[in-house]
Structure 1
Amino acid sequence: MNYTTKQLIDRIEHFAVSDWDISNQILYKMCEEYPSNKDHQAILAKTLIIGRTYAASIERRKVKNTIEDVQPVATIINDDFYVNHVVPIFQGLDLDQYISEIKNWGNIPLVSLSDEQITKVLTLHKILSGAFEKETGLQKRSFASKYLHFHLPRIYFIYDSRAYAALNLVLKEVKPQGKRIVKTDQADQEYASFFMKCLRVLDYYKTVDENLPITARQLDNLLIEIANQSLRIGK
């Protein structure tokens, strides 16, 4: 059955679960059991499995203004790229310290985060998304959001172009009051815009029913369904 965007928005409680819950739970559990971003095997497993599962493979590179699923460097096979490039880059980022600081913020509503906290959340995303630009020619914006989401599921929203398009459709329907702006040069501006728009949607649901706790995962499920619905009806 097809629903309008507004009908899907109004059915937000239904998006607490999805057909992909077991798949996602496996990824959450992997990050819980192997939280280290220093251990080379943990890095290899998490980057490969999350990237491939969520169509954000880290080895994708920019070649002559196109994006190709090929070797990151012509003379480097994918296994060597992960072992010799991805692992050292992760080990040099000190992600575990950032994640440890941010993790407890998931115990409060996202809309209640202070500007300083949001800045740190966005800074960590930028650190990870920009870390591979030299190797691939791309900001790994989508990969970073997905990788961080599975480590900090109550903090990070999953970004990709389809989710952003769906989010803009949601905002056209709900028109939440106010527009919170956090000014920082420490963020990837595309993801920062997406993140703040997601907070506006969560704030909208809070005004509708303050006892209706909408999570980042619920919102992601909603955005996926809106994007899929647009494909089904050919928009």
Structure 2
Amino acid sequence: MGSVGCAIDASIFPRNGFGKTEAARLMRVGDYFPSRESLHGDIGNDILYQLCESHPLPAACICNDGVSAEELREQEGILAGKMWVIGRSYAASPERYAYVKSGKSKKPPEGSAEGYESFFSDVAAILFEGEPCFRGCGAKEEGGEFWERAKAHASEAKGWFREALDVVHELTSKTYGLRGGSNDVDILKKVADAVTTFGSAIQEARAARDWAIIACNNESENKSDGEEESGEIRVEDQYFPLSFSSKFLHFHLPRLVFIYDSISGDILAPNHRYCYFDGSGQCVSGEVGQFKIDCNHAMGRKVGDDPSRKYFLHASKELALATAISGYFQDQKGNEDVRGAIEKGRIDVDSGIPCYINITRMIDALVTNSKKEKDKNKISHTPVDAFSGRVAWEAEADDILPIKEAESQ
């Protein structure tokens, strides 16, 4: 099967005076770039960035046998804390999940509300150690069918986690050039790999914990074989934690990982060939910053079954927007401090928490705070001098929807 050239073109306008538009304000750039007197308008996110900068993800070797118990417990505690605070801050906590796709799998009851307090510690232990964990359950010594199923999922979780750590470690020294080069697409593919591999690790860890719950409950209640209520725990029945995974890794790799959630995912839906947006209000000048995305193909035939593909297509549109926005930075005179801060990703202060500035969060703010115009007749023509950006790659022909078929969906 042959390959097809795919491209996403993004345009942002008006070029003249874009920095004074509502779109620019949403991105904290141009005249709205934070001043020294107001650096901490986004202190909540700044704290999360600093947390992950101070406590980065470890190298994959931490999962190897021979690592001291003390070091392992420390890393497990750090991971559990970061999952807790990032997940709950962004309403994407991995503890909120369900088995609903097949109608057969059922999340087992934990027996008490304390279970949610132990969730993050249990999952962190499973990811690092590859062994089932549920509140220090003693079913491990007894063995049994349910515990063996838990062990199988725990081993898978550790494998996915190690792979995710390897990719994150490889990406740590990378950055987008934002010039439309193929290197940016190569980096984005690895980012999509990291996001979905980490999400797979979370899925397997949750399944391992659920089977451990079933094993512990059946043992503690001394049920006979005829009374066992095993339910049906299948990883493929879970909703994939794409939102949590992208948000969690964004705070570890803020210059690389674009955020995905239901809002931005709907606005930048994979099957949409065209996307048109306005800013959410006018400035004194009366100008509303606009942007438009044009895909030369709608690349969504198999998206529903592939979280990696869904994330890549979403992030590639945001990367095209980021590439267009980089033209704005280059076009500005006397804005070297702004460009330098974007490249570095933060503004250091004499004391306190740095102000973190990154292009990925700017684009996320632009997308999620904009409105989608459904009537194409109301969309203004793209000016020839608009800031523009392109992301291009090769894809298998079977993955491409014909334009007419895509637009009819």
TM-score normalised by structure 1 residue count: 0.74
Query: How far apart, in 1, do the equivalents of 2:177 and 2:87 lie?
Result: 28
Q: How much is the aligned-residue C-alpha RMSD, in angstroms?
A: 3.8
Match of 1:102 in 2: 171
Any conservation in 1 of the 2:258–2:360 contact (CA below 8 Å)? yes
Higher fraction of strand: 2
Deviation of residue 82 (structure 1)?
A: 1.9
Q: Partner amino acid for 1:158? A: I
In structure 2, distance between residues paired with 1:54 and 1:87: 23
> Aligned partner of 1:36: which letter?
L
**Distance in 2 between residues matched to 1:116 and 1:107, nearest whole Å:** 10
**Counterpart secondary structure, 2:98:** strand
Q: Identify the match of residue 87 of structure 2 among 26, 29, 51.
A: 51
Greater RCO structure (CA 8 Å; 6+ sep): 2
1:30 counterpart = 2:30: no
| Matched residue, 1:124 | 194
Name the counterpart of 1:82. Answer: 120
Counterpart residue number, 2:98: 62
Alignment partner, residue 262 of structure 2 = 161
The structure-2 alpha-carbon separation of the partners of 1:194 and 1:107, relative to structure 1 and needing over 3 Å to count, comes to: closer
Higher alpha-carbon deviation: 209-218 or 152-161: 209-218
For structure 2, the 5+ residue unaligned runs are: 1-11, 35-39, 63-74, 130-157, 208-237, 278-290, 300-304, 333-338, 343-358, 372-409
CA change 1:117–1:72 in 2 (3 A) is same
SS in 2 for 1:60: coil
Distance 1:24 1:99 in 2: 20
Q: Which of the residues 360, 364, 384 maps onto 1:220? A: 364
Residues 83, 197 of structure 1: alpha-carbon distance in 2 compared, 3 angstrom cutoff: same
- Structure 1 contact 125–145 (Cα < 8 Å) conserved: yes
Q: Percent identity?
A: 24
> Does the C-alpha gap of structure 1 residues 209 and 84 become closer, same or farther in structure 2, counting only changes over 3 Å?
closer
Structure 1 distance, partners of 2:96, 2:179, is 31
Q: How far off is 1:121 after superposition? A: 1.4
Structure 1 residue runs without a partner (length 5+): 228-235
Cα distance 1:210–1:105, how it changes in 2: closer, same or farther (>3 A)? same
Is the 8 Å Cα contact of residues 110 and 199 (structure 1) preserved in structure 2?
no
Q: What do residues 171-194 of structure 1 show as CA deviations (whole Å, max 9, x unaligned)?
A: 32433466598xxx9961211111
Does the residue aligned with 2:173 lie in a helix, a strand or coil?
helix
Question: 1:35 touches 1:151 (CA, 8 Å); kept in 2?
Answer: yes
CA contact (8 A) 2:178 2:322 kept: no
Q: Is the Cα contact below 8 Å between 2:99 and 2:107 reproduced in 1?
A: no
Q: Does 1:40 align with 2:76?
A: yes
Q: Deviation at 1:100?
A: 2.2
Q: Alignment partner of 1:73: what SS?
A: coil
Instruction: Tell me the matched-pair count.
Output: 217
Per the TM alignment, residue 119 of structure 1 is displaced from its structure 2 partner at its CA by 2.0
The amino acid of 1:194's aligned partner reads H
Q: Greater CA deviation, 127-136 or 172-181?
A: 172-181
1:44, distance to aligned residue in structure 2 (A): 1.0
1:171 corresponds, among 258, 265, 275, to 275
How far apart, CA to CA, are the structure 2 residues paired with 1:100 and 1:26?
Answer: 22
| Cα shift at 1:28 | 0.2
Shift in alpha-carbon separation, 1:47–1:115, aligned structure 2, 3 A: same
Q: TM-score, normalised by structure 2?
A: 0.45
Whether the aligned pair in 2 keeps the contact of 1:28 and 1:151 (CA below 8 Å) is yes
Residue 103 of structure 1 aligns to which amino acid in structure 2? T
Q: Deviations over 1:15-62 (max 9, x none)?
A: 226986100000000001111356011101100000000010111111
Question: Which amino acid is 1:205 matched to?
Answer: I
Conserved 8 A contact 1:103-1:152: yes
Question: 2:80·2:123 contact (CA, 8 Å) conserved in 1?
Answer: no
SS at match of 1:172: strand
Change beyond 3 A, Cα 1:141–1:111: farther
Secondary structure class of the residue paired with 2:251: helix
| Distance change (3 Å), C-alpha of 1:186 and 1:109 | farther
